[in-house]
Amino acid sequence: MSEITIGLGNNDVKTRLDADSNFIGFWEKQAKNLSWFSSWEKTLDWNPPFAKWFVGGKINASYNALDIHQKDKSDKPAILWEGENGESKILTYKDMWVQVQKLANVLKSLGVQKGDRVTIYLPMIPELPISMLACARIGATHTVIFSGFSASAIKDRIDDSKSKVVITADGGYRRGSVISLKEIIDEAIKDSKSVKNVIVVERTKTKIKMSSKDLFWNALLDNASDICPPEKLDSTHPLFILYTSGTTGKPKGVLHGTGGYLTHLHSTFKWAFDIKDSDVYFCTADIGWVTGHSYVVYAPLLHGATQVMYEGAPDFPDASRMWNILHKYKVTIFYTTPTALRMFMRFGDDIPNSFDLSSLRLLGSVGEPINPEVWKWYFKIIGKEKCPIIDTWWQTETGGMLISALPGLETIPLKPGSGTRPIPGLQISVVDDDGKDVSANTKGYLVIKNPWPGMLLTLWGDDKKYRDVYWSKYKDCYYPGDYALKDSDGYLWLLGRADDVLKVAGHRIGTAELESCIVSHPDVAESAVCGIPDQLKGEVIIVFAVLKQNTTLDVKTLEKELITKIRNDIGAIATPKEIYFVTKLPKTRSGKIMRRLLKAISSNETIGDVSTLEDGAAVSEIQSTLEELKKSIKLRSEF
């Protein structure tokens, strides 16, 4: 693959050297870029796999995001908000500061105390970051739920976190129609023992039912004081829980702390984006996912940056919406996903070419592997061959970027489709099943060999699962569940998930979670789910279901019912592309479903020799099952 050398002229060799010689001392130096109420006694307390960063230090995230800018940036726009329906709003650092303190006082008056959890279920409106920062101000732990999740998914998360207050909106706009968020919350909390109040933002002015628990945002804030001093919190104080899908049936609550997490974000934002006071930054991620938490809310605000926040769908009302926004706000840094780029690319070059995008100086990608063709299109058509592209690899659990080109730190040749190198202070390897480094250009498992400040504290309420999921495959190494390879120049190429987690349009969906939803339908006996490659979404979901013998429903009705069930239990993002009804599934002798075969068969790949299958599976049995599956798929396609 040809290299492209384009950078911003930075070449800070010393940072790399410092980090390599003593990563703990290095991160200690980075932490000093934040404002602390009191310094730490110990930089890192590493009791594998539990890391405590800056132990004894006192800090507050909302203070670092807002108060520190009041002296010289109070009138600077923090958020240039663009509503889906064409409305727009500017919130300065002062506006944010006032609103956050008012809401913090409201939360206190509702009995929310340090350590309590608050669930936030809001669309992409300024009240969302305001709510997160108000929680952070008083030491409440926020748990934001993506506004596309269903009532049942929200219920599980609220029950698990035992949230005291929920913040939501009457409705949210999506592609011109209104989604009744308040109704979804009413359903989710109808049996909740923990939720005492629901605060409702009036976004769409939809008619809603208000119960004695429910309070309107505006009425509460109008009467609240705008002075609320920040709590002086321990560096390890839990800032947020963010639920994410894994290999187990239920989503896991990833728990992040404060001082380490903010240090990681402050540093990576500076290194990756080379942020300047004059920049207009735009990250298209929804705040309901980790990219939105880290690189829409916390990192830009820590730096006093100005950013665009967009409420709606990227192609609404038409395919020019994104480029229109870049043009209108003279965006200088654009951070988006390969799925969005693939969609834009499909609409053709004429649309972006008809806008003045000359303000752009840096482009980023996140969430899934970016294919080289898309990288090149992004580079040529959007960046006009003058903007470096950073392909940033990280996870909900890592808190911030771990692999990326860092133009704010150094200029290195870029290779389309490679994440390049780890951030300073991080030791990353690609290993085989036994944990041995594989040779150059060989696919293996990505592992991280030392702690970093943004890493999760644990899984909410489940230290054992935290250890089992991430730290048990390889001794004293963090296992993220990704395939990767290192080429002969030492560049890392991320090659997708190695576990039973799917990535659909960049969203993480656990196969186990989906399967358990499907088998809870009374007519389904067994189910297996796999992902197959898709030109637009990266991957799409294929469901195989074995029906109970006494089923009387016809296949079409069942298919409809299953889709409705998936949408109700999980959310629209988990809607499968195809559902195949079969009589058996290919399994190993020990009963493990062979998803690899399902994946191959549904993507029309050759399966090859099955006699060497793992775990001594019954070969003839599998062959006959596969034959049957092929027939079902063929029948389905003729349907």
Residues that bind ligand PRX (CB under 6 A): 244, 290-291, 366-369, 391-396, 419, 480-482, 494, 497, 503, 508
Cβ closer to ligand PRX: 105 or 291? 291
State the nearest-atom distance from the C-beta of 391 to ligand PRX, in Å: 5
State the nearest-atom distance from the C-beta of 362 to ligand PRX, in Å: 16
Cβ closer to ligand PRX: 165 or 242? 242
State the nearest-atom distance from the C-beta of 367 to ligand PRX, in Å: 5
Q: Which of 489, 492, 491, 508 is nearest to 500 (CA)?
A: 508
Cβ closer to ligand PRX: 246 or 260? 246
State the nearest-atom distance from the C-beta of 297 to ligand PRX, in Å: 14
Residue located via tokens 């793992």: 614
State the nearest-atom distance from the C-beta of 483 to ligand PRX, in Å: 9
For 164, phi then psi, to 5°, come to -90, -35
For 163, phi then psi, to 5°, come to -70, 145
Cβ closer to ligand PRX: 290 or 617? 290
Contact yes or no for 344/373 (Cβ under 8 A): no
Q: What angle do CA 387, 391, 395 make, to 5 degrees?
A: 145
Identity of the residue numbered 377: W
Contact yes or no for 632/580 (Cβ under 8 A): yes
Q: Which of 608, 613, 561 is nearest to 587 (CA)?
A: 613
State the nearest-atom distance from the C-beta of 127 to ligand PRX, in Å: 23
Identity of the residue numbered 396: T
- In residues, how long is the chain? 639
Exposure class string for 261-272: b at 16+ Cβ within 10 A, else e:
bbbbbbbbbbbb
Q: What is the token pair recorded at 61?
A: 């995230």
Cβ closer to ligand PRX: 286 or 569? 286
Torsion, Cα 395 12 384 310, to 10 degrees, reads: 40
Cβ closer to ligand PRX: 268 or 291? 291
State the nearest-atom distance from the C-beta of 207 to ligand PRX, in Å: 35
C-alpha pair distances (Å), 496 with each of 256, 375, 452, 493: 24, 17, 22, 10
How large is the angle between the packed helices 181-188 and 151-161, nearest 10 degrees? 50
State the nearest-atom distance from the C-beta of 509 to ligand PRX, in Å: 10
Sign of the dihedral through C-alpha 63, 69, 75, 78: negative
Report the DSSP pairing between strands 172-174 and 141-144. Answer: unpaired
Instruction: Give the 3-state secondary structure of residue 507.
Output: strand
State the nearest-atom distance from the C-beta of 500 to ligand PRX, in Å: 12
State the nearest-atom distance from the C-beta of 189 to ligand PRX, in Å: 26
Cβ closer to ligand PRX: 182 or 473? 473
How large is the angle between the packed helices 151-161 and 555-569, nearest 10 degrees? 40
Gap between the terminal Cα atoms of the chain: 42
Cβ closer to ligand PRX: 393 or 478? 393
Give the containing element (helix H, strand E) for 601.
helix 595-602
Cβ closer to ligand PRX: 53 or 493? 493
- Rounded Cα distance between 234 and 99, Å, is 24
Q: Which of 517, 520, 611 is nearest to 570 (CA)?
A: 517
State the nearest-atom distance from the C-beta of 400 to ligand PRX, in Å: 9
Contact yes or no for 91/209 (Cβ under 8 A): no
State the nearest-atom distance from the C-beta of 392 to ligand PRX, in Å: 5
Residue located via tokens 């499968």: 576
Cβ closer to ligand PRX: 201 or 296? 296
Q: Which of 242, 196, 193, 200 is nearest to 219 (CA)?
A: 200
Cβ closer to ligand PRX: 466 or 580? 466
State the nearest-atom distance from the C-beta of 480 to ligand PRX, in Å: 5
Cβ closer to ligand PRX: 167 or 456? 456
Cβ closer to ligand PRX: 360 or 494? 494
Report the DSSP pairing between strands 389-392 and 362-366. Answer: parallel
Sign of the dihedral through C-alpha 413, 417, 422, 423: positive
For 491, phi then psi, to 5°, come to -80, 140
